[in-house]
Structure 1
Amino acid sequence: MLIEKPVLEAVFVKRPNRFQGYVVLEGKEIMTHVPNTGRCKEILIPGTTVILRKEDSPERKTQYDLIAAYKGENLISIDSHIPNKVVQEALINKMIPSLEKYNIIMREKTFGNSRFDFKLSDDIGSEYYLEVKGVTLEKDGIASFPDAPTERGRKHLLELVEVKRQGKGAGVIFLIQLDDIKAFTPHDETDPEFGEALRYAAKNGVDVFAYCSEVTPNSITLKREVQVIL
């Protein structure tokens, strides 16, 4: 997907809280919005080159969103609003072979006590619930999720198991917001309960997908499937 608003390079300075980041843009230090509640501490390092997206809303306190950062030569998207849009584009364009039969794509649909990112269906009435998780954590070519404990994420996985028990399709896709990834694995060091829930879901028939992305300063596109190691 293309980012249609203007994008600019800046240099990261600090992140005093989850939603605020300070950068140097054209020689001046300014405050930006960080659209990611994760820690991103291995990405947002002082001196790192980052990408800003210009926002024009008069109601905003900041003029820019900090949407990506370089880690070496690799650009990592950190905008938590992006993964669902990328996956939706991929579903429409039949880029996920296991799900290409579904031609009806609906966003934000409820099942039981959870609201899932997508409900997919086809012309004969088959239903499939899909949850999307954006991934920014990477080490030595291995991507991991989460980078902070997520009780909500664990709950989604257990609810997907219930979807399967009721005879419907269910899956979770980890959209890795960078390229050059060899494999994906749950980050048990940060949240062992999420890892246990993911393995439990997989054993009970929930599909677990992981895809890396091609990221440029003004675009991000689903690229290829990577190995999942549970």
Structure 2
Amino acid sequence: MIIKEKVVKAEFIKRPNRFQAYIKLNGEESMVHVPNTGRCREILIEGCTVILREGNNDKRKTKYDLIAAYKGNKLINIDSQIPNRVVEEALLNKKILGLTKYDIVMREKTFGNSRFDFKLMDSKEQTYYLEVKGVTLENEGEAKFPDAPTERGTKHLNELIEAKKSGYGAGVLFLMQMDNINEFTPYDDMDKNFGEALRRAYRSGVDVMAYECSLGEDYITLSKSVKVKL
């Protein structure tokens, strides 16, 4: 997908809370919105280069959203709204292995006590529930999730298990919002319960998928599958 809004580079200064950051653009310091509630501590380091997307709503408090940052030479997209849009594009373009037979792609559908990101259906009305998790944490080619404890994420995995038990297809897709990833693994040191739930889901027949992205400062698209290590 192409980011249609104007994007600019800036220097990161600090992030006082989850939703706000201060940057320096054209020699001036200003506040921007951060569309990611994760910690991103290994990415948003003082002095790093960040990518800003200009907003088009005159009523918003900040002019820009901080959507990506350079970790050394590696560009990492941190916009939490991006993964679902990228995966939807990939589903429609039949780029996700094992899910190419599904022609009907619906967003934000409820099963049990959870609302999954996608409900897919094929020509025989077979149903598949898909949950998407954006991944921004990386170290030497190994990507991990989550970068902060997530009770909601564990709840989603347990509901996917129930969907599978009810006869539906079910899967979770981890989208690396970056390229050049060797493998993906759950970050047990950050959230042991999530890691255990992911392994339990896999043993229950829930598909566990990981894909990296091809990306630049003004585009990002799902590219190829990544090895999953559980």
Question: TM > 0.5 between the two?
Answer: yes
> 2:89 corresponds to which letter in structure 1?
E
> Counterpart of 1:175?
175
The answer for unaligned runs of 5 or more in structure 1 is: none
Q: What's the counterpart of residue 144 of structure 2? A: 144
Cα offset, 1:147, TM superposition: 0.2
Question: Corresponding residue for 1:12?
Answer: 12
Rounded to whole Å, the distance in 1 between the matches of 2:141 and 2:104 is: 34
Counterparts of 1:100-119 in structure 2 under 5 Å?
100-119=100-119
Please give the TM-score of this superposition, normalised by the length of structure 2: 0.99
Count of residues in correspondence between the two structures: 230
CA distance in 2, matches of 1:157, 1:146: 13
Q: Distance in 2 between matches of 1:165 and 1:95?
A: 27
Could you report, residue by residue, the CA deviation over 1:66-125 in whole angstroms, capped at 9, with x for unpaired residues? 000001111000000000000000000000121000000000000011000000001111
Query: 1:186 and 2:196 equivalent?
Result: no
Query: In structure 2, the residue corresponding to 1:153 is in which secondary structure?
Result: helix
RMSD: 0.5
Q: What TM-score do the two structures reach when normalised by structure 1?
A: 0.99
1:97 match: secondary structure:
coil
Letter in 1 for 2:196: E
Instruction: Please give the secondary structure, in 1, of the residue aligned with 2:98.
Output: helix
In the alignment, the residues of structure 1 paired with residue 156 and residue 16 of structure 2 have an alpha-carbon distance, to the nearest angstrom, of 30
2: distance between equivalents of 1:223 and 1:27? 36
Q: Which residue of 1 aligns with 2:206?
A: 206
After TM superposition, where is structure 1 displaced by more than 4 Å over at least 4 residues in a row?
Answer: none
Does residue 221 (structure 1) correspond to residue 211 (structure 2)? The answer is no
For residue 154 of structure 1, what is the aligned residue in structure 2?
154
Provide the rounded CA distance (Å) in 2 between the counterparts of 1:159 and 1:54: 37
| 2-structure distance, mates of 1:64, 1:125 | 42
Could you tell me how far apart the structure 2 residues matched to 1:54 and 1:211 are?
28
Letter in 2 for 1:121: M
1:70 maps to: 70
3-state DSSP of counterpart to 2:212? strand
Deviation at 1:56, TM superposition (A): 2.3
Distance 1:35 1:125 in 2: 35
The aligned amino acid for 1:81 is: Q
Instruction: Measure, in 2, the Cα distance between the counterparts of 1:11 and 1:21.
Output: 11
User: Aligned equivalents of 1:214 and 1:173: distance in 2?
Assistant: 16
Distance in structure 2 (CA, Å) of the matches to 1:57 and 1:166:
44
Identity %: 63
Who is 1:61 aligned against? 61
Q: What residue ranges of structure 2 are gaps of 5+ in the alignment?
A: none
1:22 counterpart residue number: 22
Aligned to 1:135: 135
